[in-house]
Chain A
Amino acid sequence: MSNTPTDRRYAKSHEWLKDEGDGSFTVGITDHAQGLLGDLVFVELPEIGTAVEAGNDCAVVESVKAASDVYSPVTGEVIAVNEALDGAPETINEDAFGKGWMFKVKAADAGESDSLLDAAGYDALVAEEE
């Protein structure tokens, strides 16, 4: 059974993107991604006001195994970051799709997210990678 939420879209680089309905999007990494990384020990978030470009790295997650870039799935401006992750990176391990959100982007083009995968498409990608 897949636990991949159907209320959002997914990038091939394992980020999720949720439309908040007001032109802003919440971004995090998927449960599959946190599973691959293992226990996270550090999260570096972008600063509020940073201009991000779709496909470019804008945050870092670090586990005992690896440090990995997080890519913004959309172009726009960072309007909020999840400061609760600072000092509690394990939140992403525990609840990647919920409390483990990383940052919010005010999208330059709200239609841009349409090119991303839906939940079924992402599950297929994960199955293929395995």
Chain B
Amino acid sequence: MIYEHSRAGRRAMAQAPSEKVELAGIPDAMLRTSLPPLPEVSEMQAVRHFTRLSQKNFSIDTQFYPLGSCTMKYNPRACNTLASLPGMLSRHPLAPETHSQGFMACLYELQDILKTVTGMHAVSLTPAAGAQGEFAGVAMIRAYHDARGDKERSEILVPDAAHGTNPASAVMCGYKAREIPTGSDGDIDIEALKSALGPQTAGIMLTNPSTVGVFERRIKEIADLVHAAGGLLYYDGANLNAILGKVRPGDMGFDVIHMNLHKTFSTPHGGGGPGAGPVGVSKRLEPYLPIPMVDFDGNDYRWLTERDRPDSIGRLSAFAGNAGVLIRAYIYARLLGREGMHRVSEYSTLNANYLLKRLMEAGFDAAYPERRASHEFILTLKKQAKELGVNTMDFAKRLLDYGVHAPTTYFPLLVPECLLVEPTETEAKEDLDRFVEIMQTIKQEAESQPEMVKQAPHTMPVRRLDDVRAARELDLAWKPGD
């Protein structure tokens, strides 16, 4: 902690205000009477402290990082460089349309690109993150039913493998979430779906490929069943990386989709943001898209607002979403081009299937051995946990000792001792092979010296953290002397 370096009176003048700050107009009661408890360190101490912290980090710039697009895939440097051009970076959000034509042209073209990639009828870029995109999507489902006077619909169906945000978004929009089980082959249980559908069904939220890493094969049948019951289909874009340029949610029969541009379209967002969660819709939901959107009359770009779109579910933030993320996504899409977009899904899927096959040959159990993987796959270390007492968390911690960031552990919840691996499209074969070798080595270690594996990591700056105690005795405001 930087507070541990603090000594009274030390200063880093670079950050100090150069002029006296005007405090007039702030009520006395709201002015603080004591100085805030900031660390007192020199500039160099601060630089060293944060540089050391960064060196202790695992990152995609230094290590194999099989969390994949689920958390953060490799983001080409060009996207960030171009999005950081002064004209983009310094544009004021209240700048008039006449001064923003270049920026708005990028957004307009991005709307078009996303429409083409997803097969949807119209797109709004404004949701500021995936969860807000989900909220906007379900709110549009609600607006659609309400506008038709179809007010008895009260349930959103959600598979048990879904991201936790799906039922949360449904509830945020006033619906009840109803769970649909997943069959042992990884596909949704169609019979359970049939019995859950009815006049109370507002819609279903699906991720395809699903969170268990397989493509929902009966998607057409699911779409027909839900539509026949009067419900709408929501596509969670979490796994869009697997199908870019190959299959389009619009063609599968989906009515709404949200895309996580910060995952699939090149923004480093590990650490919590910012994101961008644009929504695309079928024709019947188009009037309800959130505003603002960008329109082009052949000459000029302009904002579409409440005046143009009276049935819109409204604004989700003060301006047009997270502009920086949208610009990065635009550049990423333009760099790939229409011709290159499908290579993302081809290589990410090829890499995942190669890795899965090799790990199965090395004696690991796939959760769905009969299924082809999408851009990610699930191993279950149930056998190792039962026979050797070495569980998924132990494997994950031991991977750190070998310089590999652990894949996602214990998600999705329905697979016991679950390891969710997503190598992404940018990993070289040598790096995939190295991961297999390391996993084999850890497997042998688990057999010959399980206690050592259970105490991993051994070479990291900190040993295994007591996450149970941290959760039970949560302290978010620790300071020296506590």
Chain A positions within 8 Å of B, measured between CB atoms, are 36, 39, 41-42, 64-66, 68, 89-90, 130
Beta-carbon contact of B471 and A66 below 8 Å: no
Residue of B nearest to A36 (CB): B416
17 A-B Cβ contacts within 8 A? A36-B416, A39-B468, A41-B468, A41-B471, A41-B472, A42-B471, A64-B467, A64-B468, A64-B471, A65-B410, A66-B410, A66-B413, A68-B413, A89-B472, A90-B472, A130-B382, A130-B386
Q: How far is the CB of A25 from chain B (nearest CB, A)?
A: 25
Residue of B nearest to A39 (CB): B468
Give the complex CA separation of A130 and B468 in angstroms.
Answer: 26
Chain B positions within 8 Å of A, measured between CB atoms, are 382, 386, 410, 413, 416, 467-468, 471-472
B residues less than 8 Å from A89 (CB atoms) = 472
Give the complex CA separation of A34 and B445 in angstroms.
Answer: 28
Looking at A65, A68, A89, which has the most chain B CB atoms within 10 Å of its CB? A65
Looking at A41, A42, A66, which has the most chain B CB atoms within 10 Å of its CB? A41
Give the complex CA separation of A42 and B468 in angstroms.
Answer: 10
Secondary structure class of chain A's binding surface, majority of residues: loop
Looking at A39, A64, A66, A68, which has the most chain B CB atoms within 10 Å of its CB? A64
A residues less than 8 Å from B467 (CB atoms) = 64
Q: How far is the CB of A125 from chain B (nearest CB, A)?
A: 14
Q: How far is the CB of A16 from chain B (nearest CB, A)?
A: 21
Q: How far is the CB of A128 from chain B (nearest CB, A)?
A: 12
Give the complex CA separation of A65 and B467 in angstroms.
Answer: 10
Q: How far is the CB of B418 from chain A (nearest CB, A)?
A: 10
Q: How far is the CB of A87 from chain B (nearest CB, A)?
A: 9
A residues less than 8 Å from B472 (CB atoms) = 41, 89-90
Give the complex CA separation of A89 and B468 in angstroms.
Answer: 11
A residues less than 8 Å from B471 (CB atoms) = 41-42, 64
B residues less than 8 Å from A42 (CB atoms) = 471
What 8 pairs between A and B have smallest CB-CB spacing? A41-B471, A39-B468, A65-B410, A64-B467, A41-B472, A66-B413, A64-B471, A64-B468
A residues less than 8 Å from B413 (CB atoms) = 66, 68
Residue of A nearest to B411 (CB): A66
Give the complex CA separation of A130 and B383 in angstroms.
Answer: 10
Q: How far is the CB of A8 from chain B (nearest CB, A)?
A: 25
Give the complex CA separation of A37 and B451 in angstroms.
Answer: 22
Q: How far is the CB of B468 from chain A (nearest CB, A)?
A: 4
Give the complex CA separation of A42 and B416 in angstroms.
Answer: 21
B residues less than 8 Å from A66 (CB atoms) = 410, 413
Q: How far is the CB of B43 from chain A (nearest CB, A)?
A: 38
Give the complex CA separation of A90 and B468 in angstroms.
Answer: 10
B residues less than 8 Å from A130 (CB atoms) = 382, 386
Give the complex CA separation of A68 and B413 in angstroms.
Answer: 10
Residue of B nearest to A64 (CB): B467
A residues less than 8 Å from B416 (CB atoms) = 36
Give the complex CA separation of A90 and B471 in angstroms.
Answer: 12
Residue of B nearest to A87 (CB): B472
Q: How far is the CB of B73 from chain A (nearest CB, A)?
A: 25
Q: How far is the CB of A90 from chain B (nearest CB, A)?
A: 8
Give the complex CA separation of A64 and B472 in angstroms.
Answer: 10
Q: How far is the CB of B443 from chain A (nearest CB, A)?
A: 20
Give the complex CA separation of A110 and B407 in angstroms.
Answer: 48
Q: How far is the CB of A63 from chain B (nearest CB, A)?
A: 8
Given A64-B471, A89-B472, A130-B382, list of 14 further CB < 8 A pairs?
Answer: A36-B416, A39-B468, A41-B468, A41-B471, A41-B472, A42-B471, A64-B467, A64-B468, A65-B410, A66-B410, A66-B413, A68-B413, A90-B472, A130-B386
Give the complex CA separation of A39 and B382 in angstroms.
Answer: 18
B residues less than 8 Å from A41 (CB atoms) = 468, 471-472
B residues less than 8 Å from A36 (CB atoms) = 416
Residue of A nearest to B391 (CB): A38
Residue of B nearest to A38 (CB): B468
Give the complex CA separation of A65 and B391 in angstroms.
Answer: 12
Q: How far is the CB of B155 from chain A (nearest CB, A)?
A: 14
Residue of B nearest to A62 (CB): B471
A residues less than 8 Å from B382 (CB atoms) = 130
Give the complex CA separation of A65 and B409 in angstroms.
Answer: 9
Q: How far is the CB of B189 from chain A (nearest CB, A)?
A: 15
B residues less than 8 Å from A90 (CB atoms) = 472
Q: How far is the CB of A42 from chain B (nearest CB, A)?
A: 7
Give the complex CA separation of A68 and B386 in angstroms.
Answer: 22
Give the complex CA separation of A103 and B308 in angstroms.
Answer: 55
B residues less than 8 Å from A65 (CB atoms) = 410
Give the complex CA separation of A89 and B382 in angstroms.
Answer: 25
Looking at B410, B416, B467, B468, which has the most chain A CB atoms within 10 Å of its CB? B468
Give the complex CA separation of A105 and B416 in angstroms.
Answer: 31
Give the complex CA separation of A39 and B386 in angstroms.
Answer: 17
Q: How far is the CB of B387 from chain A (nearest CB, A)?
A: 12
Q: How far is the CB of B449 from chain A (nearest CB, A)?
A: 23
A residues less than 8 Å from B386 (CB atoms) = 130
Q: How far is the CB of B477 from chain A (nearest CB, A)?
A: 19
Q: How far is the CB of B37 from chain A (nearest CB, A)?
A: 29
Give the complex CA separation of A66 and B164 in angstroms.
Answer: 11
Give the complex CA separation of A89 and B471 in angstroms.
Answer: 11
B residues less than 8 Å from A64 (CB atoms) = 467-468, 471
Give the complex CA separation of A66 and B416 in angstroms.
Answer: 12
Residue of A nearest to B468 (CB): A39
Residue of A nearest to B386 (CB): A130
Give the complex CA separation of A39 and B416 in angstroms.
Answer: 15
Give the complex CA separation of A90 and B473 in angstroms.
Answer: 13
